């Protein structure tokens, strides 16, 4: 009897089990990964079923499984391995690993991979990042939906039929990872550099010492290198500027040349310069793109391709073109950008969320490779990092601002109706809507000095700005990113678009009390040296520094500025708070908090559990 027949028989048995109780994993199986609260949503039985389902997707082929330092990770990863072995897979167990270390092993061994991590999420969470052999991405459309359905069937049946051939063995992957990092981004030793690295008690504390011992001219000052899945120092989310304060202080105190902050699984890296100022991820994208284009051209490529998502700074495209490359715009999402890079054979890819992808690293992302590129670029100059990145950060940016709306499509169309008739405006609909008004140089546009009062169509405004307006994949949110040639223009466009988006906030629907909720979680950075006052805290946005924004109270009537509003968290679980009717509600746990006189009352024992 063939393996395929065995699979079919197992499926029939599971689907017709009299004891089967429906199970729904949609809350934790997301578009690109698995993520949920460990012990409640993501349990050992669920992990075991997911491991079995992943083995089925691979038809029993081998895989590598690794995990981060979270308290729940060893138990969950072990259960996953059990499920995969039961379904006939030969599993290499890699143990502690960063996500890019797992990708490296997947590529070198040409095996599928499973990484247990919740990245930058709070300590109670955990998750799984899955890839096919060669670190190729898996998304809902390319396997995750099948994995979910199969796992649900196993859980409903209460059993996982055993298949022959399964086995587990340990494998060491760190040495190969270090060797690949140093080969792909060699760091010269032209001058001594001092770098402060904040590992956030997470996986960079595992990988950075192994890499740093080979960097002769670099002295690493370690912060929070002890692995601790409770994150005792701060959350491992470097896009939240509150987590950068210790690093910034240390860079200034140590007289360091730069600082590096990694997220929980070390696949993202945020950079601060010698003054402690965060460097926008788009500037790092441009910096690395120029280097990778030069390397590819030296190897004989005529016009190397770089993929950058559509929220990246306009300057990224300018830098790519200036270096002799070709930019390809991508939708937001790591599976999408990896797939597009492979299709275009792109040498490099960058996202506004500080993910950086490399062709020679199996088209996968690596925070360590990005960090080494920055160190190498700094070694090749005599000046400070602030001077090196200044040319790659010429514009003023709002960062990402999230607005909770009842109907995202309707809000987008209101914006379109206002913007489309304006002379000089171009709109495209890749991943939401991008509106661009980037006027040419005034002299070039009107060389004869035409009288503006003359009859004819209204001339285009000389202003230069653009914005992206996207819907969240998982929440009723619109995500706005605005960039302009100057801060004043950026602020005006930002405020105008927000007003249009949030028009519904003045017309609450009594039948749907959350319809009027407007959540301002402004994030990201204005251009370095050009930021406007009124800093907003970040989320997953371009840049990690000051942004702008005023108060936009929603249905909760929490009358606080957006930069304060965006930093409010549930005092019990640290989850994000969203507007309810007269309350702020936690998205991660069933608690809501009263708003009294416009002031949120965020006291743990005064949070009320939501009623079903």
Cα–Cα distance between 50 and 79 in angstroms, integer?
9
503 contacts: CB under 8 Å, gap ≥ 6: 411, 414
532 contacts: CB under 8 Å, gap ≥ 6: 396, 487, 488, 490, 491, 526, 548
Q: From residue 286, give the alpha-carbon distance in Å to each of 109, 260, 382.
A: 31, 18, 20
> Based on the number of CB atoms within 10 Å of its own CB, is 235 exposed (0-12), middle (13-18) or buried (19 or more)?
buried
Residue among 65, 75, 229, 92 at smallest CA distance from 166 = 92
Please provide the DSSP assignment of 177-241 as one string. HHHHHHHHS----SS-EEEEEE-TTSTHHHHHHHHHTT-TTEEEEEES-S--TT-SS--S-TTSG
β-strand partners of 356: 350
443 contacts: CB under 8 Å, gap ≥ 6: none
Task: Give the total residue count for the chain.
Answer: 612
Residue among 107, 108, 112, 45 at smallest CA distance from 80 = 45
DSSP single-letter state for residue 142 = G
Which residue matches tokens 């310069």?
273
* Tokens matching residue 382: 């005599």
β-strand partners of 137: 131
3 state DSSP class of 301 = coil
Using left for φ > 0, alpha for ψ between -120 and 50, and beta otherwise, residue 309 falls in: beta
Residue among 406, 416, 387 at smallest CA distance from 518 = 406
145 contacts: CB under 8 Å, gap ≥ 6: 29
Cα–Cα distance between 176 and 172 in angstroms, integer?
8
569 contacts: CB under 8 Å, gap ≥ 6: 575, 576, 577
Cα–Cα distance between 54 and 162 in angstroms, integer?
14
β-strand partners of 468: 434, 481
Cα–Cα distance between 238 and 211 in angstroms, integer?
21
3 state DSSP class of 406 = coil
Sign for the CA dihedral angle at 222, 224, 228, 229 comes to negative
153 contacts: CB under 8 Å, gap ≥ 6: 11, 14, 15, 20
Cα–Cα distance between 428 and 442 in angstroms, integer?
24
Q: From residue 83, give the alpha-carbon distance in Å to each of 106, 137, 148, 546.
A: 19, 21, 14, 46
Which residue matches tokens 């913007």?
419
Sign for the CA dihedral angle at 280, 283, 289, 292 comes to negative
Angle, alpha carbons 163-167-168 (nearest 5°): 140
Are the C-beta atoms of 351 and 309 separated by less than 8 Å? yes
In the annotation, is 119 catalytic? yes
Which one of 73, 119, 468, 471 is the catalytic residue? 119
242 contacts: CB under 8 Å, gap ≥ 6: 234, 537, 567
**Enzyme catalytic residues:** 119
């Amino acid at each position: 009897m063939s393996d395929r027949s065995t699979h079919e028989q197992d499926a029939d048995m599971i689907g017709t089990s009299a004891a089967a109780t429906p199970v729904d994993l949609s809350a934790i199986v997301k578009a690109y990964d698995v993520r949920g609260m460990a012990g409640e949503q993501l349990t050992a039985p669920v992990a075991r079923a997911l491991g079995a389902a992943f083995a089925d997707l691979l038809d029993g082929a081998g895989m590598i499984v690794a995990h981060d330092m979270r308290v729940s990770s060893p138990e969950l990863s072990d259960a996953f391995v059990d499920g995969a072995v039961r379904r006939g897979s030969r599993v290499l167990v890699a143990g502690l690993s960063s996500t890019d270390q797992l990708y490296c092993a997947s590529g070198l061994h040409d095996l599928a991979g499973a990484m247990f991590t919740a990245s930058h999420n709070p300590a109670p969470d955990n998750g799984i990042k899955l890839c096919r052999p060669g670190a190729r991405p898996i998304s809902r459309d390319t396997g995750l939906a099948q994995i979910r359905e199969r796992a649900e069937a196993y859980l409903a049946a209460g059993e996982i039929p055993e298949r022959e051939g399964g086995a587990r063995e340990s494998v060491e992957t760190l040495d190969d990872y270090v060797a690949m990092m140093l080969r792909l981004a060699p760091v010269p030793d032209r001058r001594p550099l001092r770098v402060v690295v904040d590992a956030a008690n997470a996986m960079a504390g595992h990988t950075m010492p192994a890499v740093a011992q080979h960097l002769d001219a670099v002295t690493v000052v370690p912060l929070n290198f002890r692995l601790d899945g409770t994150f005792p120092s701060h959350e491992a989310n470097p896009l939240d500027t509150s987590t950068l304060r210790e690093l910034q202080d240390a860079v200034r105190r140590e007289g360091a040349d730069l600082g590096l902050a990694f997220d929980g699984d070390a696949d993202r890296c945020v950079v601060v310069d010698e003054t402690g100022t965060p460097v926008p991820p788009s500037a790092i994208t441009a910096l690395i793109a120029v280097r990778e284009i030069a390397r590819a051209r030296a190897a004989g490529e005529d016009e190397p391709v770089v993929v950058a998502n559509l929220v990246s700074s306009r300057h990224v495209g300018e830098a790519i073109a200036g270096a002799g490359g070709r930019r390809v715009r991508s939708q937001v999402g790591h599976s999408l950008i990896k797939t597009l890079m492979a299709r275009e054979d792109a040498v490099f890819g960058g996202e506004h969320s500080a993910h950086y992808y490399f062709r020679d690293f199996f088209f996968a992302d690596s925070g360590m490779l990005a960090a080494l590129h920055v160190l190498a670029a700094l070694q090749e100059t005599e000046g400070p990092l602030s001077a090196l990145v200044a040319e790659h950060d010429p514009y003023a940016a709002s960062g990402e601002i999230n607005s909770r709306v009842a109907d995202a499509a309707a809000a987008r169309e209101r914006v379109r109706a206002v913007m489309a008739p304006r002379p000089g405006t171009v709109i495209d609909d890749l991943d939401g809507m991008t509106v661009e008004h980037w006027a040419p140089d005034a002299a070039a546009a009107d060389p004869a000095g035409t009288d503006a009062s003359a009859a004819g169509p209204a001339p285009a405004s000389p202003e230069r700005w653009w914005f992206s307006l996207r819907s969240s994949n998982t929440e009723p949110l619109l995500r706005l990113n605005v960039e302009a040639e100057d801060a004043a223009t950026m602020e005006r466009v930002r405020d105008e678009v927000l007003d249009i988006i949030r028009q519904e906030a003045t017309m609450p629907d009594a039948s749907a009390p959350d319809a009027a909720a407007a959540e301002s979680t402004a994030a990201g950075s204005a251009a370095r040296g050009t930021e406007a006052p009124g800093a907003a805290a970040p989320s997953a946005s371009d840049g990690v520094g000051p942004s702008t924004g005023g108060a936009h109270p929603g249905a909760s009537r929490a009358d606080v500025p957006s930069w304060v509003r965006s930093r409010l968290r549930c005092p019990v679980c640290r989850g994000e708070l969203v507007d309810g009717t007269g309350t702020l509600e936690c998205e991660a746990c069933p608690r809501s908090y009263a708003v009294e006189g416009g002031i949120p009352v965020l006291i743990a024992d005064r949070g009320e559990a939501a009623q079903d």
